[in-house]
Structure formats: C-alpha cells, structure tokens
Amino acid sequence: MRTSGIEKYFGRNHVLRGIDLEVRRREAVMVIGRSGSGKTTLLRCINFLEEPTSGWVEVDGLRVEADPLHARSRRHREQIRQIRLRAGMLFQEFNLFPHMSVVQNLIEAPTRVRGLPRDAALELAERYLEKVGLLDKRNEYPARLSGGQKQRAAIARALCMEPKVLLFDEPTSALDPELIGEVLNVMEDLAHEGVTMIVVTHEMHFAREAADRVVFMEDGVILEQGPPEQVLNDPHREETRNFLRRFLQT
Amino acid sequence: MAVGELSEKRPTRYEIEDVEAADRRSRWRFRILFAVVWLGLIIGLAVGLALTGRIDPAFILEVGPFILDGTPTTLLICFSSILLACVLATLGALGRLSGNPVLNAIASFYVSLLRGTPLVVQILFWYLALPQFGVVLDALPAGIGALAFNYGAYMTEIFRAGVEAVPRGQQEAARALGMRESEVMRRIVFPQALRIVTPAIGNEFIAMIKDSALVYLLGVREVLWRADVMGTRFFRSTETLLIAAVVYWILTIVLSFFQERLERRMARGDR
C-alpha cells in the first residue's frame, strides 16, 4: 500500500502537507502523534472517507488519484469503492449497525457487496467471530455487548471482507481502561499473523509490542519513522522526544 | 447473595427488604391516588353537567348510536390519510435530503405551501375549488387527500430529521465496507431512521384523529357530521357535541395506549 503527496485542506486549513507512506505486505505500522497532527485525517484519506485535496493512494496495485473537483463522478466513486474493498476500516466508535445482530452485521457486506452466497458468508463470519472470541455472541444485538466486544465484532466484520490492509482509527480510545486489553490482544494476534495494518493509536506499549514500524506525525507531515525501539526509545527528532516525554508524563 | 452479605458486614439502620417494601408502597400509593383523582374528575364533570339540567340522558341514548356509527368512517379517514401521508413524507424527505436542487426545491415548496396555509382552507379547496379545474372528487376522497397532503408536509420534516439523526458514523462504516450509496441508505440509514421516527408518527396519528373532524364540512358522514346533524335537527347541540367529544377522546386514549406500548417495545429492542 502506498500513498504519495497526500495533501488535505479543510477549507483554508492545511491539515496534511504531503504524506508519502509505503506499507509493505504483512507489515504493521503504528501512527503516533499529538491530536490535531493529522493522523486520523490521513487514515480517512487512504480510503477516501475524506477526499484528499491532491496526491494518490495505491492499494494492492490499484491507484486512485485525488480528484476533489470530480468527486461525484461515477467512475471516481467506483474506484473509491474498489479501494475500500481493499482497505477495511475500524473506528473509534465501532459503528456496528444497531438494528442488526452481530452475525447480520458480519454478513451484510459480504453478501451484498462481494456477492457471496449466504452460507459461505455465514461460514466466514463464524470463522472470524471465533478468531476474535465472540462466537457465543453471534445472535446478540450490539447494544448488549460491552465496548470491547463491540470493537472485536467490528474487527471481525472488517475481516469478513478479506481486505488487503486494515486501517485502525484509535480503536481503543472510546473504551473503558479495563476493556482495552482484549481489543489490543486481538490486534496483536492479527499483526503477528501477518495482517497488513495501519493503526493510529495512543497506546505506546502496544505500538512497542506489535509494530513493525512506528510513524510519528506532527502538523500534517511525517517527521520520523522507523522500528519501534528506535522511534520510541531513541528518537532522532526533538519534536518526537517532546511528544513522548509529555505523553508519558500524563 | 451479594445484598445479604453486604447487610451482614455493614449493618444499616434498616433492613434492605424494608426499604424496598417502602418503595413499593409509595409507588402504589401514587398510582392509586392518581387513579382516584382521575375518576373523581370524570365523575365531577359528569355530575356538574347533569346538575345544569341542560342534559337529557334519554336523548343521549337515543342519538348516541347514530353518532357512534360514524366511528368506522372516522377511523377509515385517519388510517388512509396517515398511510398516504407516510408515502408523501417519504418522497418529500428524499427530496429534502437530495443533492439535486430541482427535487430539493420541489419538496421544500411542498412543505412550505402546505404548512403555511390553514388546514381548513386546504380541505375546502380540495372539495370546492378543485372542481373548477376539472378535478371533481367525492367528499370522502377529497377529505382524505387534503389531510394526507397536509400531514405529509409535516411528516416530511419528521422523516428528514429522523434520517439526519442516524449517526454519521453509520454511513461511514457502511461506505468503508464498500457498500454503494443506495445500499447505505436502504440497508443502514432508513431502517434506523424508521425506529427514530416511529413515536413521532404515533403523535401525528393521534393529532390526525382530531383534525379528521374537519372533513364534516364536506358532508362526510363521520362522527362530528352526525353529531352536528342531530344537534341541529333537535336543537340539542350540547348533548351531541358532548358525545362526539367523548368518542374522539376515547379514540385518542386507546391509541396513546398502543403507542406507548410500541415505544416501550422499541426502546427495549436494540439501542
């Protein structure tokens, strides 16, 4: 997966100032940085939930140019859809569909979007529910799940689309502290199994354990990246050091 | 049991069971007093009316059945109007949510025109003015049409607000799964919006029962028309209007009851 020269303006506000990021197959990349540094926007630009102002995104051989002036054209929208099929997204607020049971949440997109027969989709759903440890909750409605269970179900839902890369947008920020661990465990397992992922996170300990590479962002640019030990223990940049120091204090 | 252990370890001044029983007692006292006051007010009202000497019970029994016979017509008007209004409101809401300026303007115009003019004027217009343009409708369809178009305008805004109340993240999650815009709307947004607006539709329906009385102006033989006819014929409008009022009142009470149950069931559902 690659991005090149991603720029994003919100009105006149320059949020991303040219992001080049390459993620190799089976790599787990953690993006850290202050809030407002553009981490989340970058993630949302990769699957075009925000249309970048310029630059391009390439996932698994499909390259889509930012095209804010023609964002509504049919061709562009179809291309974006193809990118989204390759890049699954997890949200801070889980966003399970409350009117569907867990298993319905999981098979909705595979049957409608990928055109899988129901049986095959159910089989897939059960496999991934088992992986995230929620097989016994398959018929529950999201309202009856804890936050951690919801996020694990959302991960299973994304996996059911068998994407090439998973994008995690602060997946544990809305969770009570005692529920964070179960979600991070699932993510760590996925990382070790070689699922390609980009994770925006504030969990430094998790980044250290599960990341192949840590990316530090500030003011809409990537300031520093490298192996977790290097970036987290011995950062080259003053800004990274400041961020980590302030972060560990609080 | 956890409660028992707690009370053993930390003795309180009262047993927990006693506190619970006291709670239950005070809830029941509230309910009983509430019902007694209601009953008292109803009896008081009835007695008060009887004491005026203007009410003739025999007359009520005589014309009562004739007026009550209008209930099915009243309900027919309400049910058909609300159904048609739901269809119109769905179209209207789609227009109001549409990025297409033509559709959006048409929907907005519809809402503005029908909310901006009196319902009575609209009802009379359907029956008395439309024939001038070659559209001749019987009283019943004219009344249903007028009510439906009027309520459709109000409900357009309700439906639109319902769709907008579905959290933004729901659409984003659906899109991120690769769903097309039409699928996002049909499968994710609308089902949730429907749950959000159901209580409001119930309120509209209850309001409709009362507003449906206006079509008596067109000579539709519903409850109020029958009360008016009898009242004028025997110069006893007090009794006939009372009967009509009681019929509408009971209808709304019954419907509120069902609406409350429906709402409770939906709240128990999944949010």
Predicted pLDDT at B55: 85
If one counts every other C-beta atom within 10 angstroms of the C-beta of residue B62, the result is 14
Asked if A85's CB is within 8 angstroms of B270's CB, the reply is no
If one counts every other C-beta atom within 10 angstroms of the C-beta of residue A84, the result is 25
Q: What is the DSSP string of B216-261?
A: GGGT--SHHHHHHHHHHHHT-HHHHHHHHHHHHHHHHHHHHHHHHH
Asked if B192's CB is within 8 angstroms of A95's CB, the reply is no
Chain segment B199-257, per-residue pLDDT in tens: 899 999 999 999 999 999 999 999 999 999 999 999 988 889 999 999 999 999 999 99
Among A168, A14, A145, residue whose Cα is nearest residue A88: A168
Split at pLDDT 50, 70, 90, the class of A7 is confident
Chain segment A22-46, per-residue pLDDT in tens: 999 999 999 999 888 999 999 999 9
Phi, psi of A213 (to 5 degrees): -150, 145
Among A162, A206, A160, A159, residue whose Cα is nearest residue A180: A206
CA distance B225 to B245: 12
The pLDDT of A178-191, averaged and rounded, is 94
- Range from A3-7, A10-14, B127-131 that averages highest in pLDDT: B127-131
CA distance B198 to B192: 10
The pLDDT of B135-150, averaged and rounded, is 94
CA distance B236 to B220: 21
A98: nearest CB among B172, B179, B270: B270
Q: Assess contact for A126 and A106: CB atoms under 8 A.
A: no
**Is the pLDDT assigned to residue B17 strictly greater than 90?**
no
- What are the structural domains of chain A? 2-96+167-249 (3.40.50.300)
Q: How many CB pairs under 8 A join A and B?
A: 65
Predicted pLDDT at B270: 52
Asked if B195's CB is within 8 angstroms of A97's CB, the reply is no
ipTM: 0.91
Interface of B with A (CB under 8 A): 167, 169-170, 172-181, 183, 187-188, 191-192, 195, 269-271
If one counts every other C-beta atom within 10 angstroms of the C-beta of residue B143, the result is 27
The pLDDT of B70-74, averaged and rounded, is 94
Predicted pLDDT at B177: 96
Predicted pLDDT at A70: 75
The pLDDT of B96-125, averaged and rounded, is 96
Contacts of A158 in chain B (CB under 8 A): 177
**Is the pLDDT assigned to residue A116 strictly greater than 80?**
yes
Predicted pLDDT at B1: 45
If one counts every other C-beta atom within 10 angstroms of the C-beta of residue B263, the result is 13
Percent above pLDDT 90 for chain A: 80
Mean pLDDT, rounded, of chain B: 91
Predicted pLDDT at B271: 47
CATH architecture of B64-269: Orthogonal Bundle (1.10)
CA distance B40 to B32: 12
Chain segment A41-79, per-residue pLDDT in tens: 999 999 999 999 999 999 998 999 888 887 778 888 999
Which strands, in side-by-side order, build the sheet including A13-22? Answer: A13-22, A2-10, A54-59, A62-65
CA distance B134 to A30: 71
Contacts of A84 in chain B (CB under 8 A): 175-178
Chain segment B153-193, per-residue pLDDT in tens: 999 999 999 999 999 999 999 999 999 999 999 999 999 99
Asked if B173's CB is within 8 angstroms of A108's CB, the reply is no
| Separation in Å, CA A211 to CA A27, A187, A194, B94 | 8, 10, 11, 46
Split at pLDDT 50, 70, 90, the class of B34 is very high
Least Cα separation, residue A98 to chain B (angstroms): 6
Predicted pLDDT at B269: 53
Predicted pLDDT at A4: 80
Asked if A97's CB is within 8 angstroms of B188's CB, the reply is yes
Which residue has tokens 């007694």?
B36
B176: nearest CB among A84, A99, A143: A84
Identify from A95, A145, A198 which residue to disrupt to test chain B contact, counting B C-beta atoms within 10 A and taking the largest count.
Answer: A95
